Amino acid sequence: MDMMVTGRHVEVTPAIREYAEKKLDHIEIDFPRILSAHYILEVDKFRHIAELVLQCGNHITIEAREVSEDLYASIDSVVDKVARQLLKYKTKIQRHRPRKAMAFSVDEQVMTHDLHEEDGTTQIVHTEKFAIKPMFVDEAVLQLELSDRQFLVFLNADTEKVNVMYRRKRGDFGLIEPTLS
């Protein structure tokens, strides 16, 4: 995660920078998809203002601003406020239920091909079941961003077909839309 600390009418000391970084490390544990963070610290007479702007994946921006009489207290408050916003956003995505809530399940089977045997048999090594939820493509991207999984199987709410959203090596996402040929 990239982090910047900018000071307006205040010099950003290494102690303040370290304190701000330490506070954000706690958030990054719960929300690993934060790309960058920008603190804006300002002192205006007796008011100490801390602003925090987080850039999360898929062009999501979360902003918060707190004012208090102590700069460290402002940093604490703004980090707490951002954490509440992130939690609210995450639960909103996880609890989203489309109107046509039909759930299916798909079995995934990992197969291996034994090259040492003459008959070339294939055996199933591992089987998993996934619940398929109807959702739109942008919702699938958001849900995949907020999780650590490599792929997501879902029922596309637009086409009513099973799709697979996967994470690519470059960090972006791919979509598999099966068709009958």
Distant-in-sequence, close-in-space partners of 147: CB < 8 Å, separation ≥ 6: none
Chain-wide mean pLDDT for the chain? 81
User: Which pLDDT does position 119 carry in this prediction?
Assistant: 59
145 vs 106, which has greater pLDDT? 145
Average pLDDT over residues 66-95: 88
Point out the least confidently predicted range of 1-10, 53-62, 106-115, 159-168.
106-115
Q: What is the pLDDT of residues 3-42, one digit of tens each?
A: 899 999 888 999 999 999 898 888 877 777 788 899 999 9
CA distances from 99 to 17, 29, 58, 103, 157 (A): 47, 33, 24, 12, 10
Q: What is the pLDDT of residues 38-74, one digit of tens each?
A: 999 999 888 999 999 988 876 778 889 999 999 999 9
Domains and CATH numbers, the chain: 2-95 (3.30.160.100), 104-176 (3.30.505.50)
Q: What share of the chain is helix, strand, coil (3-state, %, to 5)?
A: 30, 40, 30
Distant-in-sequence, close-in-space partners of 104: CB < 8 Å, separation ≥ 6: 131, 132, 155, 162
pLDDT surpassing 80 at residue 104:
no
Bridge partners of 163, per DSSP, are 154
Confidence of residue 1 (pLDDT cuts 50, 70, 90): confident
CA distances from 92 to 3, 95, 97, 130, 168 (A): 26, 5, 10, 21, 25
Against a cut of 0.75, is the pTM above it? no
Q: What letter does residue 31 receive in the DSSP assignment?
A: -
Point out the least confidently predicted range of 97-106, 117-126, 132-141.
97-106
User: Which pLDDT does position 135 carry in this prediction?
Assistant: 86
| Strands 162-167 vs 173-176: parallel, antiparallel or unpaired | antiparallel
Return the SS3 of 160.
coil
User: Which pLDDT does position 97 carry in this prediction?
Assistant: 65
Q: Rounded to an integer, what distance in angstroms lies between the CA atom of residue 33 and that of residue 26?
A: 13
Confidence of residue 100 (pLDDT cuts 50, 70, 90): low
Contact of 37 with 53, CB cutoff 8 Å:
yes
Could you give phi then psi for residue 146, rounded to 5 degrees?
A: -85, -5
